Chain A
């Protein structure tokens, strides 16, 4: 497990949106790695910068948004230095994306096979249409879509099928990473479970990495290997799945896990609600961005932003509880390996 190869390294990435109310730092100084062949979950509440993060990975931030700093290292090169042509080749061939709403993520006037053939021909213009079609046919079959569905239009497919077609568009070019941006959010639980299964299957069959962006904690618990928890544009905690659920370190992660509805709660118990609101990112809180809502708040949290520290191999936390600081009064909690 320790000898995993790094596929993409995100280094101190920042994305800002220019709005009339001022600069919004949607993603601020975020760093994490994605290993080859892993499923990485990216969770957090709405507006915390998850989707922006996913788009930034493909440099698809549209104005008024802008990537203001940081590096994304892929195959030893920073993709920020890619020119437009190279970037186009990178999108699709190296990293591809599945979107939130399967109903609108396929061109309504193109057939399924046209989509796949186009995806192939965009990157390999010399491929003959028949060859592309046969490749598309094989892939579609692997994804569990009947072959006769190939000449259907998107509106004739179900939501789950469309998502599988989108997954197929990523796979047909042998992408190394598929970013699934809320890919299962609009599907019902049964289709969602199937797609989750399929994503795992795909990882095994094709060896791709998956970045699953979602606010559905149950889903990431089910399919991910590791989880990145984001809050207000910052990465709060990075951990393998099991340790994270067994022993959440960051107060935000704790709150998040407590907020999951549970059928075992009886009538007297109430579902935990985190106090306060997510911060306004035009004027983020000083120090730790979570401190206004944090039950473990210390004076040091208000003035100093904690670093994302590796408290244990493979486990990063951005919280003063676990990191030493001269102004701190209480004792630093030692995390056992």
Chain B
């Protein structure tokens, strides 16, 4: 009696199993993802972050025109403008006597506008004039005559003398010189609203880096996804059949794939790309060739392992056809490990594509592509850090999100890991 009582005290009743644990079998995929941290110790927030990032990147890749403010191939501003920096705005100098006038008032064909030789003021004036002409009513055409001067003083003097109607100079060029001419006034900036800046700056040919990056996402995703898909579609069936059939067929194929695999990846891709020539299709093919052995090896190895499993033998013992065994027994048991590889591979392929373009074997030179931007920007790395920083960041982020998603999904969903 006594011992029974003690027994009862020291052996605790098994804790009641919570309802939600019992129901775990019934929960769906999404719920399981959310419960993953509890059950498998997987880093679910890794998945969440990378998935959100990827969804965003894919969205950007599908609709770049919604995000990019400029045409990525168009020259839209001065070259090598730092991020956020507005291009130098030019000042219009007019005689005080002409009163409160704007550039538009003196941009007629009869007007003379002066500037210093070699100053970017001429380009700024041409741009503003073009804009004026675009918005001008029918029949009106702005085209002021340009007068070039060796020095600022020379130009201002002739303006003060009434030989020209206005003078254009940047504030830096102007300095304090205007104070020497009491009859002249600063009539404000050339463009009324002032100059717009570029969020990530411009490159050496005046293209907007932000727009190029946005459009580059599309190229990167197309190349990454389709080359991973092509190698998946080639490598997986080959591996399945090779592992399943075995024998000399398997040996020859394995030898072939191993020899492909033994090449340094980028060099192989370069040689294939060099043979095929530039173009997005050729790039996809040459990167795909690179990754076929990866799929092949993994699928073949898994097939060899799964083939020996008892359930395959059990399937044969009830007379299942070998095609059915391959389709229903081996393939579904092999595929989980491949899906993970796929995700990691997409990231890898994007990196390789950037590498190829960087080395000049990739896409046509005017394509808005991260690799090309990186290659072009490296010459200016001391002067203009933004040329390579932003494309580089994008490559890193997209590659990282794909790898992160793949790795952590494998951790969470791999049933073999969960059993431990």
| A contact set with B: CB distance below 8 Å | 58, 60, 88-93, 96-97, 99-101, 104-110, 118-119, 122-123, 152, 155-156, 166, 169-170, 173
A154 to B, closest residue via Cβ: B311
Would B318 and A173 count as touching, CB distance under 8 A? yes
Would B313 and A60 count as touching, CB distance under 8 A? yes
C-alpha gap A89/B318 in the complex (Å) = 8
Chain A residues in 8 Å Cβ range of B313: 60, 99, 105
Would A107 and B319 count as touching, CB distance under 8 A? no
Chain A residues in 8 Å Cβ range of B316: 60, 91
Chain B residues in 8 Å Cβ range of A169: 314, 318
* Given known contacts A101-B310, A156-B25, A88 and B319 CB-to-CB distance under 8 angstroms: yes
Which A-B residue pairs are the 9 nearest by beta carbons? A92-B318, A92-B319, A91-B319, A97-B317, A109-B332, A88-B319, A104-B310, A105-B310, A107-B311
Chain A residues in 8 Å Cβ range of B415: 108, 155
Chain B residues in 8 Å Cβ range of A173: 318
Chain B residues in 8 Å Cβ range of A166: 314
* Given known contacts A109-B332, A109-B333, A156-B25, A118 and B320 CB-to-CB distance under 8 angstroms: yes
What are 16 sample pairs from A and B whose C-beta atoms fall under 8 A apart?
A60-B313, A92-B318, A92-B319, A92-B320, A99-B313, A99-B314, A104-B309, A104-B310, A106-B311, A107-B328, A107-B333, A108-B415, A109-B333, A118-B320, A169-B318, A173-B318
* Given known contacts A107-B329, A108-B415, A155-B415, A123 and B314 CB-to-CB distance under 8 angstroms: no
C-alpha gap A203/B216 in the complex (Å) = 70
* Given known contacts A92-B319, A122-B320, A156-B25, A110 and B328 CB-to-CB distance under 8 angstroms: yes
B247 to A, closest residue via Cβ: A63
Would A97 and B314 count as touching, CB distance under 8 A? yes
Would B319 and A104 count as touching, CB distance under 8 A? no
C-alpha gap A205/B333 in the complex (Å) = 36
C-alpha gap A92/B332 in the complex (Å) = 23
Chain B residues in 8 Å Cβ range of A108: 311, 333, 415
Chain A residues in 8 Å Cβ range of B309: 104
Would A123 and B328 count as touching, CB distance under 8 A? no
Chain A residues in 8 Å Cβ range of B318: 91-92, 96, 119, 122, 169-170, 173
C-alpha gap A97/B310 in the complex (Å) = 11
Chain A residues in 8 Å Cβ range of B320: 88, 92, 118, 122
Partner of A123, one of B311, B319, B324: B319
